[in-house]
Amino acid sequence: MRLFLLFAVFVVLGLAFESAGARIFSFRSLIPNLIIIFAVDLGLRHHGVVPAILAFTMGYATDAIAGSHPGLNAFMTTMVFLVSYEISTRLMVANAGVGATVVFFGVIATALGTVAIANGFGALSSTGPMLPGLALQAFITAIIAPFIFSILAVTKRLTGLPAGATRDGHGRERRVEL
C-alpha cells in the first residue's frame, strides 16, 4: 500500500510536469519520460504482483493525459516493467547504469510500439523524421534516470520500504546497487 501511494504521488507529479512542460517548451524532446523511469525502477527493484499492477496503473494513468487509444500506454508501461524485471533476474547487479540503459531503450521502444499498435506496423516506415527527437528524449531521460532512482530510493527508505535488495522467482536474493 505504501509503495502504491508513493508511486501515485510520483506519477501525478511526473505526468503534470510532462504535460505542463510540453506546453511550455516548444521542443518536446527536452521533456524526459518520467513514467518509463518509474516503470524501470519497479521492474529492477520490486519483484511481485503488486509492482506489476502498479506499472499497469501508471500506464493507464498516462492514458488519461496522453495518447488517443486508452490501454496503449498501459500496455507499453507493463511491457517495460516486464523487460526490466527479466533483466534484473538474469543480471547479478542491477545498478543505475543498467537502469539508465533500459530507460534509454524503453523510451524509444515505447514510442515506436505506440505508433505501431495504434497505426499498424506499416506506420513505422514513416517514423524517420521523429527518430532524432526521440533519441534525444531517450538520452535526456536516461541521463536523469540515476538521479530519479536515487530520489525514489531515499523516499522509499523514509517511508520504510525496501529500496535495494530484491528476490527472484526462486527466492534467491539479488544484489541491487543504487
Partner 1 sequence: MRGSFLWRNRVLLASGALLILSLHLISTGVHPGDLAARPQSAFLEVISPVTGAFTHLSDGASSITRDYLELVHVRDENAHLRAELARVKSDQARLAELEVENQHLGELLELKNALGTNAVAANVIGSDANGISRTLVLASGTDNGLRPGMAVLANQGVVGKIIAVSPKASRVLLVNDHNSALDGFDQRSRARGIVAGQVDDGVMLKYADRSQDIRSGDTIVTSGLDGIFPRGLLVGTIQSVHREGPGLFLGVKITPAVDFRELEQVLILTQPPPVLEDQAKD
What residues line the site for partner 1 (CB under 8 A)? 12-13, 15-24, 26, 28-29, 31, 33, 35, 47-49, 51-53, 55-56, 59-75, 78-79, 81-82, 85, 110-111, 114-115, 117-119, 123, 126-130, 137, 169-171
SS3 25: coil
Q: Minimum distance between the CB of residue 87 and partner 1, rounded to whole angstroms? A: 13
Contact 145, 37 (CB under 8 A): yes
User: Is 160 or 171 the residue whose CB approaches partner 1 more closely?
Assistant: 171
Query: In sequence order, what are the residues at sequence separation of 6 or more whose Cβ sits closer than 8 angstroms to the Cβ of residue 116?
Result: 123, 124
Residue 71 in grid coordinates = 490501454
Task: Tell me how far apart the alpha carbons of residues 12 and 62 are, in angstroms, rounded to a whole number.
Answer: 9
User: Is 84 or 149 the residue whose CB approaches partner 1 more closely?
Assistant: 84
Task: Tell me how far apart the alpha carbons of residues 126 and 121 are, in angstroms, rounded to a whole number.
Answer: 10
Strands 166-167 and 173-174: antiparallel
User: Is 58 or 96 the residue whose CB approaches partner 1 more closely?
Assistant: 58
Q: Minimum distance between the CB of residue 168 and partner 1, rounded to whole angstroms? A: 9
Place of cell 526490466: 84
Q: Minimum distance between the CB of residue 44 and partner 1, rounded to whole angstroms? A: 12
Q: Minimum distance between the CB of residue 25 and partner 1, rounded to whole angstroms? A: 9
Q: Minimum distance between the CB of residue 169 and partner 1, rounded to whole angstroms? A: 4
Main-chain phi, psi angles of 174, to 5 degrees? -105, 145
User: Is 70 or 97 the residue whose CB approaches partner 1 more closely?
Assistant: 70
